[in-house]
Amino acid sequence: PIEVSHGQKMDSRDQENLLDRTAQGIISTPMDRPDGPLKVSGTATYADEDHPPGTVFGWLVRATVAKGWVTGFNTGELRDMPGVLAVIRDERMIRNPAQGGAGKAPYQGPAEIFYKGQPVALIVAETFEQARDAALAARPEYLDQSDKATLTPDGAEYETPPEQQQSQGDLDQAMRDAAFSVDVEYSTPSMSHAAMEPHAAVAWWQDGRLTVRGSYQMLHTNAQELADSLGLDIKKVRVLSQYVGGGFGSKLGISHEAVAAAIAAQKLNRPVAVALHRRQVFETTTRRSESRQRVRLACDAQGRMTGVGHEVWVSNLPDESFSEPVTQSTSFTWAGENRVIGHHIGRLNLTAAGSMRAPGEAIGVPVTEAAMDELAEAAGLDPVEFRLRNIPETDPSTGKPFSNHRLADCIRRGAESFGWSRRPKQPGSLRQGEWLIGMGMSAIIRVHMMGPSSARVTLNPDGSALVETDMTDIGTGSYSILTQIAAEMLGLPPDRVTTMLGDSDLPASAGSGGSQGAGSAGSAVMMAAKAVRQKLAERMECDPDEMTLKDGIAIAANRRRGLAEILAGDTLQGTGTIQKGQTYQDTRQASWGAEFCEVAVSSVTGEVQIRRLTGVFAAGRILNAKTARSQCLGGMIFGIGQALLESVQTDPRDGGFVNRDLAEYHVPANLDVPDIEIELLMDDRDAYSNPMQAKGIGELATCGTAGAIVNAIANATGHRFRHFPITLDKVL
């Protein structure tokens, strides 16, 4: 092939707006997913659905104490059981690798235990059933050093890392001087990602090179994690995740099953499959930390905010570097010159706390937005009007400009389409039989991020195109948008573009995490296609800006030529790269939204029914109107779970998870979800984010939903509920 390349670093504002000048008309449309038919027909192959010939099966044995040491193991007995091929107790498999590069506990040796559910051995047998049978017969002996104080947040010791505290002005004084203020404490429970597809890995070795087919979100990082865990060069590792049945952050990093399968496959010289069952997913991968949050807000007599305080207490295992960044957007969302942010990390012997969809804002924004509602009420102002008065001109913590700011637009549009003017002014005043009716709203905020990414776009001699990157599609629509970007840039109908993802041997991307996948991998595809366009323009003897590509035809001045004719048997291969630059230093970048909710609360049973939910969102250029809307739908439903249902309950005696399957850990089901109205601001562009002028949308919609719901409940009942989830027992 003829190779060309184009890279861009976001050092300056994007001037080109190239996607606004292309002619194919496919970008932003609600194009169906190219992978949709495979998924609905059951022919898309997930991690554990295809076993190479000769595959044997592993089952993890897990600790039944929260802290201590394994002092004995009936290895010999298990080895004699039918079909058993190996009993593996290997230090490399014990430490928790599941933090997505965010931080690892130091290596602690093969026998030390830090939480109930931690893997202590892998049993491998000829069949899945034989492995499970032997694992159930495993009898580890323990030195049990469990300490009840490190099993619940109340007993934990909290660290206060200096670099995670912020303060400006004098918040205490602002609170004393305020015309109106609130000083309230909220809590959110530990939660579980509960993705549809449980974690699984199938590993095999060939000529000293490891391949792991698993269910992961960030393949380049995951290959590096595997290489680190096993002491290999990354070139010796390949990770495949062509289809991923949901991740929500639990698959940002590899988990124990990947390392265990790789070790076993090497030892036995056979492919080994290790799939987690649902309870293992809950207890052995990661959870979202519970939080305690103190919010202090102050305003003057005109409802102008003078102070914002947000102090949080979260937890993780000892020595894990990640902790839920609950206050992430508090620093820039609302005005106020006196500010305090506090961050405290408790050390618990519970399953590692990791990133779960919108780590930070998902649990921080609902709480600050509920407190905003409390302050608006105290000040006698409508919650919409109160917010519109307090949108800052620049980032109030740093003074930096915003790259764009559509919060006010989202709030106004949402208020109008929802019919906010019909909200009962007096809480508890609107009743329909046994039902108390109320309306509430929340601002929606999520920081925008980008990760360095690369991609390859090949234009074949027949005028068809191939897109390749190690990006994943975790149900989000990556196959759709990357196909659309290439089709738009190259002037091809989308069925002439094939997109290959989910293979760490392909050009490295940021992967699916932090809502940065579309903007990062998408920009890399755009840059690769741009390189191909430049080559085509050379052959058309025109400036790329004067060339129109549409339906496989290039048009410049009065010349029209088909792509196959221009290529004349050649293959053009473009490589594109994108990376963050100065614009990410110079501007505060976020995606924006507003949500409005109507609830009915039964005065007889305490049941909360969500009657209506409306969301308006601005996330720069929308790349696919259908998959973007689906992301918002999913995010809002996620928020319903957070408001009303989801809570991991742990046993204070041993730190075990009590509700560890989808029967006991409640997520929203159809009847919990009303018709949801979603509006995307299709005209939004962010010239500082990337060359597509797009921003993150995957996590946006969940960042505040629970706040809109709890505010609606307060409007319905006249009572503030400050401890999520708002279950019937609390309402009655």
Q: C-beta of 102: minimal distance to ligand MOS in Å?
A: 10
CA separation for the pair 90, 124 (Å, rounded): 13
CA separation for the pair 36, 21 (Å, rounded): 29
Using the contact rule CB under 6 A, the part of the chain among 247-255, 378-386, 546-554, 593-601 near ligand MOS is 247-255
Among residues 120, 165, 167, 163, the alpha carbon closest in space to that of 142 is found at 120
C-alpha pair distances (Å), 24 with each of 29, 283, 486, 492, 540: 11, 48, 10, 7, 18
Rounded to the nearest 5°, which phi and psi values hold at 575? Answer: -110, 135
CA dihedral over 171, 177, 180, 184, signed as positive or negative: positive
Given 47, 356, 363, 618, the residue binding ligand MOS (CB under 6 A): 356
Q: C-beta of 709: minimal distance to ligand MOS in Å?
A: 21
In a 3-state reduction of DSSP, which class is residue 490? Answer: helix
Using the contact rule CB under 6 A, the part of the chain among 38-46, 155-163, 350-358, 492-500 near ligand MOS is 350-358
CA separation for the pair 228, 233 (Å, rounded): 8
Label residue 360 left, alpha or beta by phi (over 0 means left) and psi (-120 to 50 means alpha): left
Q: Which is nearer to ligand MOS, 97 or 247 (CB)?
A: 247
Q: C-beta of 100: minimal distance to ligand MOS in Å?
A: 7
Whether residue 264 contacts residue 270, with contact meaning beta carbons closer than 8 Å, is answered with no
Using the contact rule CB under 6 A, the part of the chain among 165-173, 354-362, 571-579, 719-727 near ligand MOS is 354-362
Q: Which is nearer to ligand MOS, 508 or 549 (CB)?
A: 508
Using the contact rule CB under 6 A, the part of the chain among 88-96, 355-363, 451-459, 665-673 near ligand MOS is 355-363
Binding residues for ligand MOS, total number by CB under 6 A = 11
Q: Which is nearer to ligand MOS, 250 or 460 (CB)?
A: 250
Whether residue 282 contacts residue 356, with contact meaning beta carbons closer than 8 Å, is answered with no
Whether residue 293 contacts residue 310, with contact meaning beta carbons closer than 8 Å, is answered with yes
Q: C-beta of 249: minimal distance to ligand MOS in Å?
A: 3
Which among 488, 598, 679, 699 is annotated as catalytic?
699
CA separation for the pair 679, 34 (Å, rounded): 24
Given 192, 316, 355, 647, the residue binding ligand MOS (CB under 6 A): 355
Neighbours of 60 (CB within 10 A): 25
Rule CB under 6 A: is residue 636 a binding residue for ligand MOS? no
Q: Which is nearer to ligand MOS, 85 or 447 (CB)?
A: 447
Q: Which is nearer to ligand MOS, 473 or 679 (CB)?
A: 473
Given 33, 199, 357, 387, the residue binding ligand MOS (CB under 6 A): 357
**Which parts of 524-563 interact with ligand MOS (CB under 6 A)?**
none
Given 101, 247, 366, 511, the residue binding ligand MOS (CB under 6 A): 247
Query: Please, is 670 exposed, middle or buried when counting C-beta atoms within 10 Å of its C-beta (0-12, 13-18, 19+)?
Result: exposed
Rule CB under 6 A: is residue 360 a binding residue for ligand MOS? no
Q: Which is nearer to ligand MOS, 359 or 494 (CB)?
A: 359
Concerning whether 16 is annotated as a catalytic residue, the answer is no
Q: C-beta of 684: minimal distance to ligand MOS in Å?
A: 22
Q: Which is nearer to ligand MOS, 198 or 514 (CB)?
A: 514
Q: Which is nearer to ligand MOS, 31 or 450 (CB)?
A: 450
Using the contact rule CB under 6 A, the part of the chain among 353-361, 406-414, 585-593, 615-623 near ligand MOS is 353-361
Using the contact rule CB under 6 A, the part of the chain among 8-16, 200-208, 352-360, 571-579 near ligand MOS is 352-360
**73-79: Cβ within 8 A, 24+ apart:** 73/120, 73/121, 73/138, 73/139, 73/140, 73/141, 74/137, 74/138, 74/139, 77/137, 77/139, 78/123, 78/134, 78/137, 78/138
Q: C-beta of 364: minimal distance to ligand MOS in Å?
A: 14
Q: C-beta of 217: minimal distance to ligand MOS in Å?
A: 6
DSSP string, 247-269: -TTTTSS--HHHHHHHHHHHHHT
Task: Tally the residues of the chain.
Answer: 732
Q: Which is nearer to ligand MOS, 360 or 574 (CB)?
A: 360
C-alpha pair distances (Å), 586 with each of 225, 394, 396, 519, 524: 32, 12, 14, 18, 22
Given 189, 249, 392, 639, the residue binding ligand MOS (CB under 6 A): 249
CA separation for the pair 524, 201 (Å, rounded): 28
C-alpha pair distances (Å), 13 with each of 128, 403, 527, 622, 686: 55, 9, 16, 19, 9
Beta bridge partners of 499: 467
Q: C-beta of 362: minimal distance to ligand MOS in Å?
A: 8
Given 115, 128, 248, 665, the residue binding ligand MOS (CB under 6 A): 248
Interface map 485-514 toward ligand MOS (x if CB under 6 A): ----------------------------xx
Rule CB under 6 A: is residue 634 a binding residue for ligand MOS? no
Q: Which is nearer to ligand MOS, 446 or 533 (CB)?
A: 446
Q: Which residue is nearest to ligand MOS (CB)?
A: 249
Dihedral angle computed from the Cα positions of residues 507, 509, 511 and 517, in that order, rounded to the nearest 10 degrees: -130
Beta bridge partners of 609: 600
Q: C-beta of 514: minimal distance to ligand MOS in Å?
A: 4
**Which parts of 687-706 interact with ligand MOS (CB under 6 A)?**
none
Q: Which is nearer to ligand MOS, 85 or 252 (CB)?
A: 252
Given 97, 246, 336, 359, the residue binding ligand MOS (CB under 6 A): 359
Rule CB under 6 A: is residue 270 a binding residue for ligand MOS? no
Given 4, 88, 252, 714, the residue binding ligand MOS (CB under 6 A): 252
Strands (E), 166-325: 166-168, 180-188, 200-206, 209-214, 237-240, 272-275, 291-299, 305-316
Whether residue 194 contacts residue 663, with contact meaning beta carbons closer than 8 Å, is answered with no
Q: Which is nearer to ligand MOS, 57 or 638 (CB)?
A: 638
Rule CB under 6 A: is residue 124 a binding residue for ligand MOS? no
Rule CB under 6 A: is residue 216 a binding residue for ligand MOS? no
Half-sphere CA count of 362, side-chain side, radius 13 A: 28
CA separation for the pair 257, 275 (Å, rounded): 7
- For residue 179 the two structure tokens come to 């015309």
Q: C-beta of 275: minimal distance to ligand MOS in Å?
A: 21
Q: C-beta of 445: minimal distance to ligand MOS in Å?
A: 16
CA separation for the pair 298, 195 (Å, rounded): 40
CA separation for the pair 249, 478 (Å, rounded): 16
Interface map 169-208 toward ligand MOS (x if CB under 6 A): ----------------------------------------
Q: Characterize the bridge pairing of strands 200-206 and 209-214.
A: antiparallel
Rule CB under 6 A: is residue 519 a binding residue for ligand MOS? no
Residue with tokens 């194919």: 24
Active site residues: 699
- Binding-site ranges for ligand MOS (CB under 6 A): 217, 247-249, 252, 355-357, 359, 513-514
